[in-house]
A and B are shown apart, each in its own frame.
Chain A
């Protein structure tokens, strides 16, 4: 009897091992590529092959001249392998990409593509090299966030470049940290996650998705807040205040002093 049973067990064992191996490969692959963020994609059910194909077409038209036909990078543009859908969504939805004037830094500019097209390109890049996914709406919703922790994280990790109110600041060699006035919660999340240009990366294992949501809540609350003391003067601090003291205060009072001491012509 042992002779008949053994081949069946061996065959079953081989299939089992094969299935396990495939499953393990898939898991490892998912773990490595999904290391930057949660697995949920922006489009429910994930991108379809049609989306990826469409994204590839747009990419070939618009992006490949600098980033290479296979997104491997050229002298003009970096490799996009592993940057993820989040990076593509950030760069294209803020208008930074497609890049035009190649200066110290890509500025935010009017967006050239529709959201659907952006997601398609993002899906293609993600298909090519993996990387962090676009956050879902729930992940960036400020409601219910821990504002106190958000304030502390923002002030410690963001304010030194972007300024205490997100009004932006200077970096070296003509670069700058942009103001956060126009960034959507999704874009803020993606920027933290992917570290565009000079910005460092704040991965999900260091600043967790919940903490990112707290930071977003802090930013959106503060920037929407009215200025109870009058006009904000740019929320840049003492520099504009000093200007106003001289140009507003002293200059006006000089005019008043001239009026008070003016010689009046006798009628």
Chain B
């Protein structure tokens, strides 16, 4: 059979490269790599492809933007600003918007992509948290992700400050004001960043370099590491029939995943283009150039900095003046504490959970959020905390649009920021346990068929059908026979197990019981769905199995380092 020209050309190219790189094996394994499929796995891709689009549109913008604070008098086409003094940065942004074809579209795509990038990181991070995908071996990736989130916040802030308009200039002033209040080094930090008194004429060029060169380089490097780890460790998968901790089930990269991910990239680009056509964003010509003696109602940062803004608004006026020095708690507490709690808590969480539960196995199958009730509840508490601060950041717009008095909103937020997470924790936990109970009931009693039969005794019963295999696999996953923390609290001689001794150990045991709280299911598939609502069941998923398994029955945990994991097998 004669080969087509294309096949010949491909083979020649392949041979050329392989002669020099010995690439056949590596590339083949890359092509055959399997990618588990679930829609939640595409959330990170939204962030990734938004980043790519940011690079592309950003490069276009750098060809036209002037990062200079020298003052000019505007004589361009936008009549309401003709004759107004403004910085070159602002004038060049007007130029991009009104005098460069496609310039406004590129500016808008760039800004919408930044919002989408941050929003995608947010939902992606929540997905990782709620499914427990941050667990070993993926803690490093989780930490990289948190750093990416933080870098993204800073990159976005610096980016939208570049045009030097009234709204973003106000944000820069707030940044400077917050910096100034930092004890001991605040004034120095402010003077060093701005090159002297605020605003000076150095801040825009400096932010430009950081925004265009330094942070993108860091982001690129960290994103590459993030993807490499995911590639090397293989992606996690959702619990289902045939999926275990020791396999990957999915479609190969070539041609399936490559095609799907390319399509998603095109979709993201299309959605961004659509948003930039029909939804105006950052209309700097309406804001006017920055002047430190002017301000607009409704001054907010972009949404991802909303919680920071809300924290500043919610804070009561606490300040100490001691020995000639001022502790401006009303500023640096909101600036550091709420986000500090969330980011530090998030960074420490995988290790904290490991320490409490003693679970040091690898996890490659995701948890269903309902099966990890405490974790999900903590996550929802954090989301509520974030959300209350976020809404408070928009309180003047909400007050105006919904006709609620301004101070009332702040007072509500002051209470909600403490009570809200507590209520959210409790409610979420109850919901999760309720769902677990429902699953257990389904497993035990089967699915209702709607067929009623009369028994000889005269009683009516509804026939039920056992849950089918696929569904059973999903429902049972991780709920049957998972080992507990550190073995039995004491051994035969009444000696407590190591790790549970002392006050720290006792707290650890108690926390473990809370974290692993759930509705247990017996190994033979029957649930313990009624009776005690708490039980001492376990939500942690099945161990890495010793060998291939079919169906949903996870086997005993294999030998693992970290010896206190008990021989407590399937109960």
Contact = CB atoms under 8 A, between A and B. Distances in A.
Interface of A: 104, 146-148, 151-152, 155-156, 159-165, 167-174, 176-177, 218, 221-222, 225, 227-233, 235-239, 241-246, 248-250, 252-254, 256-258, 260-262
Interface string B271-289: 1100111111111001110
Given A169-B400, A174-B405, A246-B303, 10 more contacts: A147-B80, A159-B295, A225-B80, A228-B98, A229-B279, A230-B108, A249-B272, A254-B43, A256-B264, A260-B264
A237 B167 contact: yes
Contact of B79 (A147, A228, A236, A262): A147
21 contacts: A146-B83, A148-B84, A155-B288, A164-B166, A164-B297, A170-B397, A170-B399, A230-B280, A233-B280, A235-B286, A236-B397, A237-B296, A238-B167, A238-B300, A239-B397, A249-B275, A250-B123, A253-B267, A253-B271, A256-B267, A257-B42
Interface stretch (B111-119, B178-186, B479-487, B494-502): B111-119
Contacts of B104: 228-229
B278 A231 contact: yes
B461 interface: no
A159 B405 contact: no
A230 B278 contact: yes
Contacts of B302: 238, 241-242
Contact of B119 (A156, A168, A227, A250): A250
Contacts of A229: 104, 108, 276, 279-281, 283
Contacts of B407: 172-173
B79 A233 contact: no
A176 B406 CA distance: 10
B37 A261 contact: yes
B403 A260 contact: no
B39 interface: yes
B280 A156 contact: no
B39 A241 contact: no
Contacts of B295: 159-160
Contact of B299 (A230, A237, A244, A249): A237
Contacts of A231: 278-280
Nearest to A172: B406
B287 A164 contact: yes
B298 interface: yes
Contacts of B286: 164-165, 222, 235
A246 B119 contact: yes
A254 B39 contact: yes
B42 A260 contact: yes
Given A148-B81, A237-B298, A261-B42, A244 B279 contact: yes
A260 B262 CA distance: 11
A167 B283 CA distance: 14
B303 A245 contact: yes
Contacts of B98: 228
B301 interface: yes
Contacts of B37: 261
Contacts of A246: 119, 303
Contacts of B116: 245, 249-250, 253
